[in-house]
A and B are shown apart, each in its own frame.
Chain A
Amino acid sequence: MTLRIRYFAMLREQAGVSEENIRTSAATPAALWEELRQRHGFGAPLSALSVAVNEEFVSPERALRDGDTVVFIPPVAGG
């Protein structure tokens, strides 16, 4: 399947892109994160991040579907 991945803040800087489409067999965000860590050298463990799929917070174990937009959300710091 193909997923759209968007990056923000420190992950955007580390990846060097703000988004990308990738073909993957990762069934869950947790599996996808391991793939992206290898691809971009991200240091953060998944436990330090939240996951959003199609603009909703989800469990890292939720099943991914073709065409999903996935964002790994570093600790937020608004306000």
Chain B
Amino acid sequence: MFSLSDKPITPETPRNPAAGAFVTFEGRVRNENEGRPVQSLVYEAYADMAIREGNRVLEEARQKFGVLDIRCVHRVGHLQVGDLAVWIGVTAAHRDAAFQACRYVIDGVKRRVPIWKKEFYGPSDGRWIGS
């Protein structure tokens, strides 16, 4: 399941006895981008479409790699350096599928899901990334 959260993300622990592997990815707010110190950032989403498209990415990964379950939570709102921006958890019978599905999901989310990021370098110095 893909979801958006305007509150800090709490990573989950799977409870599936068929899951021999559990791979997670945590994307965090880095303190610099392209040589500029980043103080904080804002994520904005087209929520309905982001959830729909995010769930499509997860379903593709589930079918392609045959994993058991995938969860992905993406933050929206104002985040500070070090904050968890995106969390992905994949359970599978074996590790190879779990690693590959996790990679597929973060790459797909970054490429296709309508979420935008504005970085702040100072109190009134912000820039939308990708613009």
A79 and B129 within 8 A (CB):
no
Binary A-proximity of B63-103 (CB < 8 A = 1, otherwise 0): 00000000000100000000001100000000000000000
A44 to B128, CA, bound (A): 13
Q: Is A9 an interface residue (CB 8 A)?
A: yes
Known: A78-B43, A79-B86. A73 touches B114 (CB 8 A): yes
Complex interface: chain A residues within 8 A of B45 (CB): 8, 78
- Say yes or no: B118 contacts A9, CB within 8 Å: yes
Give chain A nearest CB distance to B34 CB in angstroms.
13
Interface size on A, residues (CB 8 A): 18
Q: Does B106 contact A (CB under 8 A)?
A: yes
Contact pick for A78, options B117, B118, B128, CB 8 Å: B117
Which chain A residues lie closer than 8 Å to B50 at the CB level? 78
Residue B8 at the chain A interface, CB threshold 8 Å: no
Q: Are A77 and B46 in contact (CB under 8 A)?
A: no
Chain B: residues with Cβ within 8 Å of the partner, total of 28
- Let me know if B116 and A76 touch, CB within 8 A: yes
Q: Can you give 27 contacting A-B residue pairs, CB < 8 Å?
A: A8-B45, A9-B44, A9-B116, A9-B118, A10-B131, A13-B128, A52-B49, A55-B48, A71-B49, A71-B114, A73-B46, A74-B130, A75-B129, A76-B110, A76-B111, A76-B113, A76-B115, A77-B110, A77-B115, A77-B116, A77-B129, A78-B50, A78-B109, A78-B110, A78-B115, A78-B117, A79-B27
Chain A residues close to B by CB (< 8 Å): 6, 8-10, 12-13, 44, 52, 55, 57, 71, 73-79
